[in-house]
Amino acid sequence: MCDWRWRALILSLCLCVGLLTSTRAQATPFYAMNSANTCDTCHVEPIDWANPPTALERECTLDCQSCHISPSGGGMRTQMGKYFAAERLSIWGRRPSHYGKNPPTPEDERRRYNALYFNPDTGAYQGGWLGGWAPGDMDYHEDEKRFGYFKPEPGVMAGGDLRLMMVVPTEQESERQVAAFPMQAQAYLAVRFLKKLTAYLDVGWQGSQSGIGGNGDEEALDVLQRRLWVREAFIMANRLPLMSYVRLGRFALPYGWRLPDHTAYIRRGKFDQFRQGYGAEVGFAPNFPSGIYPWANLAAYRQGIEGWPGEPASTRGGWGVAGQGGLKELGYTIGLSFNAQANDDETTEYMVGPMWGVNLHPTIAYAGEFDYRRQVLPGFVVQSIFTYQEVQYMGFRGVIPKVRYEGMDPNVVIIDDHLHRAMVGVDVMPHRFVELELAWRHQWAFDRPNSSELLLQLHAMF
């Protein structure tokens, strides 16, 4: 491996360790980090509510399942996720806290967690809660206004996501054209048969630069088979003791950070939007009184079933196991992901890598991931590395500036085939139903021309 790769690995690991040991921070990217700022970002403030004394009963969590039906993240949002978007993220719109049991607490009196709080009495920085609410003795599940104007536990939920993308090349003498195309169109349905038994369906129409209906030369049934996409379809028992769950069916595999950008190097071609499996998954995410939030997800799966709606022809069928786990606190997350798959063509694939996040409340959040992949192919072995680093500033309601760096070396034995990419952008959420993203992205490499582009994305959700 050449010098730059070792330097990149050492730099990434040192940055991770240095940040984790220098502060008490939190959770998963980036909304979960921001939500841990104070309890009433996820639900109406907990006046009169009891906090169960043991982890067996507690259901407040820093895990993905707090805001999404799918416990590994992505897809339909829970009532808590909808509350967070309306209360914390959107610039305009009704605040659900104003429709709760108690009037909202003024900003300067809210109980906040701040990892970099400076205590003037001791002259030292210390993380912790500032201000406070007195706990009560009422089970919050009995409060119909826990989520304001959102019904706490509906029997049937429907939702969706639509993303439209425009890409404007900015490099000099570019032969690329401006492209505008649908990037995502998903519809969700969740039915709760029993209090803790849910059926879930995620159906979509795959995006393409050739347009919603293809290029016009394809048969309608071929377009339907290729573009109509049943992404997830499972039945799940969840909210079990220790916030554990088990699900059966088709689902997105648990690995790494679940980014909304499927072109990211840590997703594209490795664990991108097509990495679903058919099988079983179990997991847990307890909330211990000590303030530690461990979590783990483990899936055994079959990938690739011929004729499944939207399954790409390039999907390599095989059997595998994937999982992730680690520790979370209000200030940080550190975890490890892995995947092993034996394919039908007698090739194998192994992936492993750390993931981390640091939450410098109430304004700055940082997340990163580093992955190693080993592919054993007929007659040779390919080893690859991937990295992702992103910082977001969350000091403004509904406006989130961000910077990102990504790196990828597709084959470590080949010199100068690596890619680097940097991005500067801003996410704006005028309303909880609408999000805008504007970014400039530059990619540079040693074996191909550099490229840059402006990205404009419109995201509508319900």
pLDDT in tens, 235-278: 999 999 999 999 999 999 999 998 888 788 998 868 877 789 99
In this model, does residue 2 exceed pLDDT 50?
Answer: no
- How confident is residue 462, by pLDDT bands cut at 50, 70 and 90? confident
- How confident is residue 229, by pLDDT bands cut at 50, 70 and 90? confident
Query: Which residue in 398, 374, 369 sits closest to 386, CA to CA?
Result: 369
Top-confidence residue, 326 or 73: 326
Looking at residues 406-430, what average pLDDT do you find?
93
Query: Longest C-alpha distance within the chain, in Å?
Result: 74
Q: What pLDDT does residue 300 have?
A: 98
Q: What pLDDT does residue 43 have?
A: 83
Looking at residues 21-27, what average pLDDT do you find?
31
Top-confidence residue, 119 or 327: 327
pLDDT in tens, 134-176: 667 777 666 777 888 898 889 999 999 998 999 999 987 778 8
Query: Which residue in 263, 306, 299 sits closest to 283, CA to CA?
Result: 299
Q: What pLDDT does residue 217 have?
A: 56
Q: What pLDDT does residue 315 have?
A: 79
Q: What pLDDT does residue 126 have?
A: 67
Q: What pLDDT does residue 12 have?
A: 43
pLDDT in tens, 338-353: 999 999 989 999 999 9
In this model, does residue 389 exceed pLDDT 90?
Answer: yes
Looking at residues 453-460, what average pLDDT do you find?
94
In sign, the C-alpha dihedral spanning 436, 440, 446, 447 is positive
Q: What pLDDT does residue 272 have?
A: 77
Looking at residues 38-48, what average pLDDT do you find?
76
Looking at residues 322-349, what average pLDDT do you find?
93
In DSSP terms, 392 is beta-bridged to 365, 402
Looking at residues 29-40, what average pLDDT do you find?
76
Q: What pLDDT does residue 207 have?
A: 61
In this model, does residue 8 exceed pLDDT 60?
Answer: no
User: Using CA atoms, how far apart are residues 121 and 108, in angstroms rounded to an integer?
Assistant: 20
In this model, does residue 227 exceed pLDDT 70?
Answer: yes
User: Using CA atoms, how far apart are residues 117 and 130, in angstroms rounded to an integer?
Assistant: 9
User: Using CA atoms, how far apart are residues 66 and 32, in angstroms rounded to an integer?
Assistant: 9
In this model, does residue 27 exceed pLDDT 80?
Answer: no
Scan for tokens 């010098």, then name that residue. 3
In this model, does residue 115 exceed pLDDT 70?
Answer: no
In this model, does residue 93 exceed pLDDT 80?
Answer: yes
Q: Which domains does the chain have, with CATH numbers?
A: 3-461 (2.40.160.10)
Looking at residues 89-115, what average pLDDT do you find?
76
The answer to pTM > 0.95 is no
